[in-house]
Amino acid sequence: MGLIVQKFGGSSVADAAHVMNVARIVTDTYKEGNDVVVVVSAQGNTTDDLITKALEINPKATKREMDMLLSAGEQISIALLSMAIDSLGYPAISLLGWQAGFETNSKYGSARIKSIRTDRLLLELGKKNIVIVAGFQGLCKYDDITTLGRGGSDTSAVAIAAALRADRCQIFTDVEGVYTADPHKVKGVKKLSEITYDEMLELATLGAQVLNNRSVEMAKKYNVELEVLSSLNPVSGTIVKEVAKMEKMLVRGVTKDTNVARISIIGVPDVPGIAFKIFSKLAAKRINVDIILQSVGRDNTKDISFTVSRDNGPKAVELLENFNLLDGKKIVCDRDVAKISVVGAGMETHPGTASKMFEALFSVDVNIQMISTSEIKISVLISASDAERAVNAVHRAFIPEE
Amino acid sequence: MGLIVQKFGGSSVADAAHVMNVARIVTDTYKEGNDVVVVVSAQGNTTDDLITKALEINPKATKREMDMLLSAGEQISIALLSMAIDSLGYPAISLLGWQAGFETNSKYGSARIKSIRTDRLLLELGKKNIVIVAGFQGLCKYDDITTLGRGGSDTSAVAIAAALRADRCQIFTDVEGVYTADPHKVKGVKKLSEITYDEMLELATLGAQVLNNRSVEMAKKYNVELEVLSSLNPVSGTIVKEVAKMEKMLVRGVTKDTNVARISIIGVPDVPGIAFKIFSKLAAKRINVDIILQSVGRDNTKDISFTVSRDNGPKAVELLENFNLLDGKKIVCDRDVAKISVVGAGMETHPGTASKMFEALFSVDVNIQMISTSEIKISVLISASDAERAVNAVHRAFIPEE
C-alpha cells in the first residue's frame, strides 16, 4: 500500500512478449493496492536504429534535432505498454516527458532535470490510472524536447520518485540485484540484500554497471529508497538506501575495471607547481584523471604516473607530448592494465582491509602498480592479464563462502 | 518572394535519399528568397509498422494511445528532414504539432483543428529558419496528442497556410498535378494548369485521390491557393483556386469510381413518406446514399434504387430486409457497377453537356442505369465491365486532343 515507481530499460520492452511481461509485473504491483508510476526506455534497438537513420543523412546533426528524433523512441514504448496494461483489464495512461512535467535545462543531449511539475501525474494517479512515463526526456525553457543522456531513464525514475515522495523506486534490469562481484567472472558471488548509496556510487563508478551514477546521486540527495531487481525474475533484489544492514561483510563488493590506461611521465623536473600545470592541462581538455602516483626520481627529477579512461589514453599522451614544459621527457601509455577495487562502508572503522587485499593479491602472485584509497574503497592498478585471477582471490578473501 | 507552405507525404520521405531530395526542393524554394514552412508525414511504412506493433499487443487499443503511438512517426521524419536541410547548409528547425500551435478538439484518431497559435512559427520564421512541422497531429485541451485522421497532413498544411496567410500551399505527391482523367487508365489525358476548389472537391469525392477533401474544403474556406505537384519532378503542377482559367475546356475532368453498389427495392407501396422513412433508416446507421432513382411501378407501387459505397452494400440490404415497412419486398444489391462522372464549373452555363456525355456513352454501346447531376457535375451509373471503355469515350468527347 503505497506509491511505487518502477523503471524498465529497453531490453525489458524489446518486443510484444517483453512488453506483456512488464505489464504483468506492473499490474501485480497495482493489484496489491499500490499507486504505480512506470518509467520506460525506448524498445531494444530503437535508439540505435534512429541514430543510424540520422547518420545516413547528417553525421553532424545538431543535438537539438537528435533529441527530437530520439525521444520518439520512448513515445512508442510508453504507448505500447499502456495498451498492454489496458489489455489485461487495468487502467493506464501514457505520458511524454513534458506531459509528466519534466523541466530541464537546455543542454540538448545531456540535459539536467530542473524540476518536475507534478500536477498531471497527481491528476492521473487520482483517477487510479497506472501512469506510464517516457524516460530520458524533458522540456526546456524554449519549449523544445531535451534528452537526459546516458542512463537518463534511471534518473527520470528517481526524479519522479523524489518529486512524488514515492515509497520505493524499483529499477528493473537484466540482473537480479547488486552482487559482490561480476557473477559471470567471479566464483561464489553473493547477491546483496542491502547497500548504501555511497557504496553503490563507488561500485557504479568502478564498473559494476547496474545503476547509472546520476540516478544514485539523486536518490541519495532526496533519500529515495531504490531497489535493483530483474524483470525476468522479479524476486526481491538489492535495496539501496542511506544505512544498510551490515550483513557481517566488511566489503560489499569487488570490482574490476578494464576501461583504464596508465600514463607515466619519466624524469619530470622537481620544481613547485609542475604537477598542477600538468593536471590542469588535462582538465582543460576534459580528461578525467583517476589514480595519481608521484615517485622520487634521480637527479632532481621525479616520475609522475596517473590513470585515465582507456579511450582518453592517446589523447592525453598527445597533449603532454606537445606541452613545452615536458620537452624531451619520456611519456609512456600502458593500456594493458586493470583496476581492482574493494568497496564497503565498513572498512572505515576496520583497519587492515588494505593489507588483507594486498595479501590476497600476493597469494596469487599479482604485482601492484598503483594504489588509491578512500573512506570506503581501496583500488589497485594491476596488469590486465592478472585481472580475473586477482578479482577472484580478493573476493575469496573478503566475502565469506556460505 | 513570399511565404510558401510545402507538404510532403510519407512516400516522399521514405528513406535517406528521398529525404535529401525533399531537402533540395525546400532549399531551392528558400534560396529564391521565400520564407518556407514544410509539413511532413511519417516515413513510408512507419505508420503501418507502428499499427502492427499495437495490434500484436492490443487489437482494441484506445484511440488516445494509438495517437500517442502514431504521432511518433512524424516526429522521426521532421527531425530527419531538418538534419538533411542543415547538411545542405541552410537553417532549419523541426516542430511537433503542439509546438507549431495546433489546437484540436479531443476526438482522438480523427481530431479537428480548432486553431493554430502561430507565435512559435512566427518566431522561427523571424529567425529565417526553414520550419519543419509534423503533419497529422495536434494537442487537445487535456494536453494530449491527437491525430487528424486520413489525409491529415494535407489538412495540417492548408491550416498553417491559412493561419499564416501564406502566398501558396504546395502539396507534393507522386503525380505531377491534377489530370483530366486517370493517366494509367485513359488515353490522351491532360494535366490541368488550374482548377477551382469546387471542381477539385467533386473530383476528389469521385475518386481522383490526389488531395484530401477536408484540406480542399479548408483551402476554399480560407482562400488558400493550393498547388499539386510531384516531389520527383517538381515542375509546375496544378493550381487550385477560387476562379480558374477556363483553358477552353468545358469539362475539367472525367472520373471513374468503382467503390459503389446499387440497391433496388422493387414494388414499394406508393404512399407518402415511404422514401423518407427508408433513407432516414439508412442515415441512422451512417450509411451515405449517393444517387437516388425512383420509378413509377405498377399497381400503386414504385421501385426505389440508390447507390451506396461498395462495402456498405450488404449492410444496407440487411437493414432493409429487417425493416417491417418493406416486408416481402424484393431487395437487390448489385456491386458490379461503376460511376462515371464529368466535372467542370463551365457546364453551369453551357447547356448540352449531359446530352454530349450520353451520346459518347451510346457511341460505345454503354447502357446507363442511373443519372445524377449537380451544377458542376454529371454522374452516370453503368455496369462495371463497361467502365474503362466509357471513361475513355467520355474523355475523348470533352477533352480536345492536342
- pLDDT tens-digit series, residues A371-399: 888 888 899 999 999 999 999 999 999 88
The answer to whether the Cβ–Cβ distance between B20 and A143 falls below 8 Å is no
Judged by CB atoms within 8 Å, which residues 132-171 of B form the interface with A?
Answer: 143-145
Least confident of A89-103, A245-259, A261-275, B11-25: A245-259
Neighbours of B22 (CB within 10 A): 24
d(CA A207, CA A259): 8
Note the pLDDT of residue B286.
86
A120 at B interface, C-beta within 8 A: yes
- Would you state the cell numbers that stand for residue B33, as one nine-digit string? 528568397
B51 at A interface, C-beta within 8 A: no
What separation in angstroms does the CA of A325 have from each of A329, A356, B120, B295? 9, 41, 53, 106
Note the pLDDT of residue A41.
95
Task: Note the Cα A133 to chain centre separation in Å.
Answer: 21
Q: Which residues of A touch B64 (CB under 8 A)?
A: 93
d(CA B123, CA B353): 52
- pLDDT tens-digit series, residues A55-72: 999 999 999 999 999 999
CA B15 to chain A, closest CA, distance in angstroms equals 8
Q: Which of A1-5, A210-214, B89-93, B244-248 has the highest mean pLDDT?
A: B89-93
d(CA B56, CA B47): 14
Q: Which residues of B touch A13 (CB under 8 A)?
A: none
| pLDDT above 80: residue A208 | no
Q: Which residues of A touch B66 (CB under 8 A)?
A: 79
B117 at A interface, C-beta within 8 A: no
Least confident of A77-91, A198-212, A337-351, B91-105: A198-212
Note the pLDDT of residue B400.
78
User: Which domains does chain B show, CATH number per domain?
Assistant: 3-173 (3.40.1160.10)
Backbone dihedral angles phi then psi of residue B218, each to the nearest 5 degrees: -65, -40
CB-nearest to A68 from B54, B61, B75 is B75
Q: Which residues of B touch A57 (CB under 8 A)?
A: 16, 19-20, 80, 83-84, 87
Written as one letter, the residue type at A313 is: G
Asked whether the beta carbons of B136 and B152 are under 8 A apart, the reply is yes
Q: What is the mean pLDDT of each run of 10 residues along chain B (402 residues)?
A: 93 95 97 97 93 96 97 98 98 98 96 96 97 97 94 94 96 88 85 90 73 90 94 88 72 90 87 82 87 76 88 90 84 92 81 86 92 86 94 90 68
Query: Predicted confidence band at A126 (pLDDT cuts at 50, 70, 90)?
Result: very high
- pLDDT tens-digit series, residues A31-60: 999 999 999 999 988 999 999 999 999 999
Q: Which residues of B touch A72 (CB under 8 A)?
A: 72-73, 75-76, 79
Note the pLDDT of residue A402.
62
- Bridge partners (DSSP) listed for residue A351: none
Note the pLDDT of residue A270.
77
Instruction: Give me the residue label for grid cell 501558396.
Output: B168
pTM of this structure = 0.83
- Bridge partners (DSSP) listed for residue A6: A38, A170
